[in-house]
């Protein structure tokens, strides 16, 4: 293995070693005692960073101080660790350092909000165990980057974008590809980072590629901790976390399928206890295991938050599960009701207020579920009004997916009206959840497009591994996907492109002139080292609100 301090230690070598849990640069440590556990065992879940600000960033790890102190076990004594951040890969200068204690009450996870940093600067970070049986053990080295100062004129920001990584459905090649890129400022994860199903309940097209732990649906705090720990043993996911800061939000599978304020589609109170307890346990495990910085208010902590990259962009990360009302049926007029909310009142005030007062060129909205209408059919206003009155249908047409913003049209109108009222012409939604790739213009009136014009644009990333159209019906790719995509675009003309069958990731590039999304697809998610290809690129010019296909990545 190359010397990790060498100037010739390549980016690819670093990423691979970090992903395998093998990089452990010494902190002037004493020689390792015979029988002392190694870094791969003590730091089996790697390192991670997240939520970069100009002067700080979250750094994270999980320590296994003794073999029995496994994730979710509740075992193990408290452990002291030292953390360090350096602007040099060899840690020849230390920018920030401190000590922290962790214990079984937080599942031996470690999360530090490291402050006093320089804007727009790359840092390397690591942890060292200070006491106990693992004393002297050093973690893998992670690499992170702070955001520019708020007043900086920023020429370009690049985000990797990912969503929906189901352990049982396939390997996480998208994370490997993201890890190996050197041009990213951060990775934005839009939800479904883990899946809650039991073993064999939700595999791939031909069954489970690998098996979930624990074997049952996760319900308790210990269950959620064990599942998070399992996902962070994936070498590609560990490599991505070690290579870039992540900016994450949750969707439903971090708790349970189609979650809402008071329940979820696959939560059975008689068998699984109260929903409030299950949701609280899922949140506690998430905050322990993810490098996120929740916001604190008078009513507690919340995940929706905003990060800024100079004068170029603000990124608003939404939580569209915790506060939403229960999903309605496809034909229910309640989808139009002002009393049915997907955001909750407080989050909507925060979101619209942020859009209306934004001082950046672009407003990027990290959006767990689609906001663009997908209707059957999208009727013109007069026919829509007549059918609504006669049949009691939603006014814009019958939505295909009321779990998305189509089931909460009053909230969508409130948000789009705020964007239009503010005069913002550069609102871009980046979205996950649906396991397909989409490039859409967000119409002012879904039933009157393009006549009434557009308000924003939306780019939807496909799943890392979770099933999409061809997987769900067990047919070869494009057997149904090609005609389905054509039908969707023909009946929903605001959809400029949709691909229903591929898995992968995307890269969002933002400049003062334009925002562009590039999609990359894996050849076979069931093969660990399967290759990727560039599939499609779409861009929106500043001030235009209209999408244009381009031939190559940004």
**Per-residue pLDDT tens for 124-150?**
999 999 999 999 999 999 999 999 999
**Does residue 337 lie in a domain region?**
yes
Predicted confidence (pLDDT) per residue in 356-384, tens digit: 999 999 999 999 999 999 987 555 556 55
The C-alpha atoms of residue 276 and residue 291 are separated, in whole angstroms, by 24
Angle between helices 235-243 and 11-19 (to 10 degrees): 130
Choosing from 145, 178, 208, the residue where a domain stops is 145
Using alpha carbons, list the distances in angstroms from residue 304 to 15, 29, 301, 320. 30, 40, 9, 9
Co-location of 109 and 172 in the same domain: no
Q: What is the mean pLDDT of residues 456-472?
A: 94
pLDDT at position 18, please?
35
Shared domain for 398 and 431, answered yes or no, is yes
Report d(CA 486, CA 498) in Å as an integer.
Answer: 8
Query: What CATH number does the domain containing 61 carry?
Result: 2.60.40.380
- When pLDDT is cut at 50, 70 and 90, the band that residue 477 belongs to is confident
Burial class (CB in 10 A: 0-12, 13-18, 19+), 31: exposed
Q: Are residues 341 and 476 in the same domain?
A: yes
Residue where a domain stops, chosen among 145, 169, 197: 145
Residue at 94 is within a domain: yes
Which of 89, 123, 145 delimits the end of a domain? Answer: 145
Pairing of β 305-309 and β 295-297: unpaired
Together in a domain, 262 and 113: no
Residue with tokens 């899922």: 282
Same domain, 325 and 232: yes
Report the candidate in 106, 51, 103, 81 with the shortest Cα–Cα distance to residue 225: 106
pLDDT surpassing 60 at residue 16: no
Range of the domain at 434: 157-550
- Residue 383 or residue 256, greater confidence: 256
Q: Are residues 172 and 29 in the same domain?
A: no
Q: Are residues 477 and 354 in the same domain?
A: yes
Same domain, residue pair 180 and 103 = no
What percent of the chain has a predicted confidence (pLDDT) above 70? 90
371 shares a domain with 255: yes
What was the pLDDT predicted at 475?
A: 76
Question: Residues 484-495: pLDDT tens digits?
Answer: 888 889 889 999
Examine residue 494 and state whether it is found in any structural domain, yes or no. yes
Burial label for 35, CB within 10 Å (0-12, 13-18, 19+), is exposed
321, 467: one domain: yes
- 4, part of any domain: no
- Is 174 contained in some domain? yes
Residue 152 in any domain: the answer is: no
Indicate whether 297 and 376 sit together in one domain. Answer: yes
Angle at 201 between CA 195 and CA 206, to 5 degrees: 105
Task: Give the domain CATH number at 505.
Answer: 3.60.21.70
pLDDT in tens, 529-544: 999 999 999 999 999 9
| Under 8 Å between Cβ of 500 and 468 | yes
How many domains does the chain divide into? 2
Residue 6 included in any domain: no
Across 47-69, average pLDDT: 98
pLDDT in tens, 303-317: 999 999 999 999 999
Task: Single out the residue of 345, 343, 344, 346 nearest to residue 365, CA to CA.
Answer: 343
Summarize the confidence of residues 205-224 as an average pLDDT. Answer: 97
In a domain, 150, yes or no: no
Pick from 115-124, 228-237, 396-405, 422-431: least confident: 396-405
Q: What is the pTM of this model?
A: 0.91
The rounded distance, in Å, linking the Cα atoms of 190 and 187 is 10
- How far is Cα 290 from Cα 246, in angstroms, rounded to an integer? 9
Residue 530 and residue 448 share a domain = yes
- Count Cβ atoms below 10 Å from residue 330 Cβ, excluding itself: 16
Task: Write out the DSSP string of 16-53.
Answer: HHHHTT-----SSPPPPPTTPPPHHHHTTT-EEEE---
**Largest Cα–Cα distance in the chain?**
81
pLDDT above 90 (res 396): no
| Mean pLDDT (whole number) for 199-220 | 96
Q: DSSP 3-state assignment of 353?
A: helix
Q: How many CB atoms lie within 10 A of CB 544?
A: 14
3-state secondary structure of 7: coil
């Amino acid at each position: 293995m190359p010397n990790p301090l060498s100037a010739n230690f390549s980016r690819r070598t670093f990423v691979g070693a970090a992903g395998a849990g093998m990089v452990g640069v010494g902190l002037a440590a004493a020689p390792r005692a015979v029988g002392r556990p190694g870094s791969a065992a003590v730091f089996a879940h790697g390192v991670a960073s997240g939520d970069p600000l100009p002067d700080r960033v979250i750094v994270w790890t999980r320590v296994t101080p003794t073999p029995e102190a496994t994730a979710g076990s509740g075992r193990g004594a408290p452990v002291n660790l030292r953390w360090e951040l350096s602007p040099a890969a060899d840690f020849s200068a230390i920018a920030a350092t401190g000590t922290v204690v962790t214990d079984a009450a937080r599942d031996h996870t470690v999360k530090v909000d490291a402050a006093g940093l320089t804007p727009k600067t790359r840092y390397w970070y690591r942890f060292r165990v200070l006491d106990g049986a693992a004393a002297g053990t050093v973690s893998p080295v992670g690499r992170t980057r702070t955001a520019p100062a708020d007043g900086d004129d920023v020429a370009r920001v690049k985000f990797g974008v990912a969503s929906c990584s189901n352990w049982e459905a396939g390997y996480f090649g998208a994370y490997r590809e993201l890890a190996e890129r050197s041009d990213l400022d951060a990775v934005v994860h839009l939800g479904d980072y883990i899946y809650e199903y039991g073993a064999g309940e939700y595999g791939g097209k031909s069954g489970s590629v690998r098996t979930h732990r624990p074997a049952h649906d996760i319900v308790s705090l210990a269950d959620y901790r064990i599942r998070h720990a399992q996902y962070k043993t994936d070498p590609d996911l560990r490599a991505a976390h070690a290579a870039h800061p992540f900016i994450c939000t949750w969707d439903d599978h971090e708790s349970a399928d189609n979650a809402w304020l008071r329940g979820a589609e696959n939560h059975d109170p008689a068998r699984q206890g109260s929903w409030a307890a299950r949701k609280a346990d899922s949140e506690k495990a998430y905050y322990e295991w993810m490098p996120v910085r929740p916001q604190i208010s008078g009513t507690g902590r919340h995940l929706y938050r905003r990060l800024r990259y100079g004068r170029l962009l603000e990124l608003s990360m939404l939580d569209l599960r915790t506060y939403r009302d229960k999903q309605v049926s496809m034909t229910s007029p309640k989808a139009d009701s002002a009393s049915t909310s997907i955001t909750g009142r407080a989050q909507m005030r925060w979101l619209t207020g942020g859009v209306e007062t934004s001082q950046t060129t672009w407003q990027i909205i990290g959006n767990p579920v689609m906001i663009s209408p997908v209707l059957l059919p999208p009727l013109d206003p007069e026919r829509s009004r007549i059918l609504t009155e006669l049949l009691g249908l939603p006014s814009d047409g019958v939505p295909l997916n009321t779990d998305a913003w189509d089931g909460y049209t009053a909230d969508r109108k409130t948000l789009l009206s705020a964007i239009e009222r503010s005069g913002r012409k550069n609102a871009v939604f980046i979205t996950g959840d649906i396991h397909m790739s989409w490039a859409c213009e967000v119409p002012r009136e879904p039933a009157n497009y393009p006549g009434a014009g557009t308000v924003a644009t939306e780019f939807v990333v496909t799943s890392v591994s979770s099933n999409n159209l061809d997987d769900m019906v067990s047919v070869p790719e494009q057997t149904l996907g090609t005609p389905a995509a054509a039908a969707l675009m023909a009946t929903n003309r605001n959809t400029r492109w949709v691909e229903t069958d591929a898995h992968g990731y995307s890269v969002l590039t933002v400049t003062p002139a334009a925002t562009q999304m590039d999609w990359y697809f894996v050849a076979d998610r069931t093969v660990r080292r399967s290759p990727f290809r560039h599939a499609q690129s779409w861009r929106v010019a500043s001030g235009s609100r209209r999408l244009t296909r381009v031939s190559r990545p940004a």
